[in-house]
Amino acid sequence: NPPMPGLNLGDVVPNFEADTTVGPIKFHDWIGSDWAILFSHPADYTPVCTTELGTVAKLDAEFKKRNCKTIALSCNDVESHSGWIADIKATQTVADVPFPIIADPKRVLAVSWGMVDPDEKDAAGLAMTCRAVFVIGPDKKLK
């Protein structure tokens, strides 16, 4: 996915394929005819990110009532995400994390969606991701 000059309200969001904690997805196919919320996090196991994912897990039934799917993105691999899910369940008192977490260890999606801080780099020189939330309609357009 080449970097986008900017994702604006009303734009059709990029379609992408990604590995997730529930297996590979094609984003537009995964959305189907529902609403979707894509939210990003800087890294697995960070305290604030852990509480945020726990809260979304606790609200899962409310999202489902509104025909809205949730999906998270974190710049770690699926193996790390799987361990993090166990941590979220233990620390946030949730039985499950019922939504996929996208693996983006090379930050390809984070960069293409504009989820990075251009001035902050990690030890490997990769741009640090920021928290971002995207609300996407059944028409695959950013709302």
> 81-138 pLDDT, tens per residue?
999 999 999 999 999 999 999 999 988 898 888 888 777 777 777 777 778 899 999 9
Distance CA 139, CA 31 (A): 9
- 77 catalytic, yes or no? no
Catalytic-labelled residue, pool 44, 49, 75, 104: 49
Catalytic-labelled residue, pool 11, 96, 117, 139: 139
pTM equals 0.89
pLDDT per position as a tens digit, 12-65: 999 999 999 999 999 999 999 999 999 998 888 888 889 999 999 999 999 999
What is the per-residue pLDDT for 4?
47
Q: Give the model's confidence band at 5: pLDDT under 50 very low, under 70 low, under 90 confident, else very high.
A: low
- 139 catalytic, yes or no? yes
69 CB contacts (<8 Å, ≥6 apart)? Answer: 30, 31, 32, 34, 35, 36, 37, 63, 99
